[in-house]
Amino acid sequence: MSSAIHDLGYKRYVGTRRASSTRWRVIARHQLASAWKGWWRWKLAALLAVIPAIVAAVWIFLLADKLSLLTGGRVPVTLADGALPMTFGGYCSIAFVASLTVGASIIAGDVQSGAFVFYFARSTRPIDYLAGKLVGYAIVIASIIALGPVLVAIMRVALSTTRDTHELVAHLALIPEALGVGLLATLAYTAIPLGFSALVKKRSQALGLWAAYYILVGSVLAAVGLVGGLGWLASLDVATALKAIADAVFDLPALMGPKHVGIPISACVISIVGQSALALGIVYWKLSTSQKAGVGGAT
């Protein structure tokens, strides 16, 4: 039987071990690597994200001075001016696709495969797991919803031929604004799906729950809120809240008419931050209870 044992010259490890406070980086790197596996996850979303960038490029570089028909002719906004706010909605949709293919199943998948025991029998703390998964997945989402709009903003600035300093500064300001809105959207599309992922024990259930919340519940809330003049209710819909914030930051409400009038921007920000905080709280609670319950003998 000894022939079954193979030892490649075993030596006890005597080097230093990395501090436990750095374990989240290992988890984040693993999360990125697993999101990159297979064509239908991060790669698909990244590919889709090219589409609004191309549309924006066409509007900015080829049709820059054409007037946008989206305002119904009421306001003389050019396609170049509208490129950023118009494409933001597209980036939101792609981020939602990525949240379905990558995000919603992260924690539920680990529960389903018994991975919590794998993590928590080691020196991994719930906060390490949460930080690692959150950062890893947030990078995936940010590469779409933050990087995309920033790219469009840079294209818009690059086109600017104005010699008016104030106008140039206004255009330059689009870049940090796009980054800010993108990061807020990243928070929403990262934290909230993870919260749903922590509520159930199967990947398919987590995916269905998040999709139903985003599409069905969100649409109902937005419709009732807008029709009933209850802006705060409409702001509970993630997509509507993000669009309203983006429109406000990119100066679109004045151009686009009353669609989002009545949705207080502060309510939208509170809604996004609040839902994200609640989701992260659920995840942390789930991880803490799993750490205590997930390891043990069977006999």
Partner 1 sequence: MIELVGLAKSFGAVKALAGVTAKIDGKLVGLLGPNGSGKSTLLKCLLGLIPFEGRATVLGLSSATDGQAIRDRVGYMPEQEAFLAGMSAVELCTYAAELSGLPRSEAIQRAHAALYYAGLEEKRYQPIDGYSTGMKQRVKLAQALVHDPELLFLDEPTNGLDPHSREEMLELISDLPQRRGCAIVLSTHLLPDVERVCDHAVIMRAGQVRFAGTIDELRGVRGDERQLAVDVKGDADKLAAALAPTGATCNVQSPIKLDVDLPANATSELLFATARTHGLQVRGIEVRRESVEAAFLRVIGEDAAP
Binding site for partner 1 (CB under 8 A): 1-2, 4-8, 10, 12-13, 15, 17-20, 23, 26-27, 30, 34, 37, 109-110, 112-125, 291-292, 295-299
Q: Dihedral sign, CA of 181, 184, 190, 193? A: negative
- E strand or H helix at 98: helix 79-98
Residue 18 CB, nearest approach to partner 1 (Å): 5
Of 187, 160, 133, nearest to 60 by C-alpha is 160
Residue 252 CB, nearest approach to partner 1 (Å): 42
Considering beta carbons, is residue 30 or 201 the nearer one to partner 1? Answer: 30
Considering beta carbons, is residue 11 or 166 the nearer one to partner 1? Answer: 11
CB neighbourhood size of 179 (10 A): 16
Residue 48 CB, nearest approach to partner 1 (Å): 22
Considering beta carbons, is residue 15 or 72 the nearer one to partner 1? Answer: 15
DSSP-assigned states of every residue in 10-51: -----SPPPPGGGHHHHHHHHHHHHHHSSIIIIIHHHHHHHH
- Locate 140 and state its tokens: 């995936």
Residue 143 CB, nearest approach to partner 1 (Å): 21
What's 67's DSSP letter?
Answer: B
Q: Are 118 and 294 in contact (CB under 8 A)?
A: no
**Gap between the Cα atoms of 210 and 86, Å rounded:** 25
Task: State whether residue 78 is helix, strand or coil.
Answer: strand
Considering beta carbons, is residue 130 or 245 the nearer one to partner 1? Answer: 130
Residue 202 CB, nearest approach to partner 1 (Å): 12
Question: Quick one: how many helices (H) and strands (E) in the chain?
Answer: 15, 0
Considering beta carbons, is residue 1 or 169 the nearer one to partner 1? Answer: 1
Residue 285 CB, nearest approach to partner 1 (Å): 16
Considering beta carbons, is residue 36 or 232 the nearer one to partner 1? Answer: 36
Residue 137 CB, nearest approach to partner 1 (Å): 15
DSSP-assigned states of every residue in 111-157: HHHTHHHHHHTTT--HHHHHHHHHHHHHHHHHHHHTHHHHHHHHHHH
Residue 29 CB, nearest approach to partner 1 (Å): 9
Considering beta carbons, is residue 165 or 299 the nearer one to partner 1? Answer: 299
- Locate 231 and state its tokens: 């802006």
Considering beta carbons, is residue 117 or 199 the nearer one to partner 1? Answer: 117
